[in-house]
Amino acid sequence: MKLDKKSLLLYAVTDRTWLKDRKLADDVEQALQGGATFVQLREKDASFDEFVEQAKEVKAVCKKHGVPFVINDNIEVALAVDADGVHVGQSDMEAGSVREKIGPDKIIGVSTRTVEEALLAKERGADYLGVGAIFNTSTKLDASEVSFQELRGICGTVQLPVVAIGGISLDNIEELIGTGIDGVAVVSALFGAKDIKKASEELKEKVERVVN
């Protein structure tokens, strides 16, 4: 699957923290019904087999909705389930070696915090950038905040689609107007919501105003 930057508009990153007795694939379905346009499966503590099982279920939901589906960090899982791609951090692996492993036709996203990191990611084969954390976030305690100035610098310098991530919610999303981003990635604003479908609808409506 080749990346269409429009698919990055409302980028859902999974987190099983809020699941209780629900299935993750069902929560993803709710997010997609509400308008989420991209899904990243993030499993920090799952075994390989658990990760693969979750990935197969979530991939099936994404395929039904025609939405790109990528795996966070784990190239082996991405290959095992034939995901549309992977998203890696700066410390996880250089984008160049990811491309060698995953092949020319898969989507690669790379987390970046500076213009220098963004340029290097592009050079090594990234298809899009995840820039953050933009605001304080409880889902990634080691993430330092990226200034709006740095975010605008990355968007203006690096000719790749950019997704802002980190603590983004309905309350602060409109602060991103004018930064040049192509979309926002959200975790708790979606999967921590009481009504995931409604949260997705409201977030999409707001991010469309931010991007356009």
CATH 3.20.20.70 fits 5-211, yes or no: yes
DSSP letters of 74-85? -HHHHHHHT-SE
Active-site annotation holds for 5: no
pLDDT of residue 97: 87
Query: What stretches in the chain show pLDDT beneath 50?
Result: none
138 phi and psi angles, rounded to 5 deg: -85, -10
* Residues 6 or more apart in contact with residue 98 via CB below 8 angstroms: 75, 86, 88, 108, 124, 125
Contact 167/135 with Cβ under 8 angstroms? yes
Active site residue 198: no
Q: Is the peptide bond before 12 cis (omega within 30 degrees of 0)?
A: no
pLDDT at 160: 97
What is the per-residue pLDDT for 136?
82
Q: Which amino acid is at 26?
A: D
For residue 203, the model assigns a pLDDT of 98
| Global pTM exceeds 0.75 | yes
Catalytic member of 7, 111, 188, 200:
111
pLDDT of residue 138: 65
Could you confirm whether 59 is annotated as catalytic? no
Catalytic residue among 7, 42, 200, 206: 42
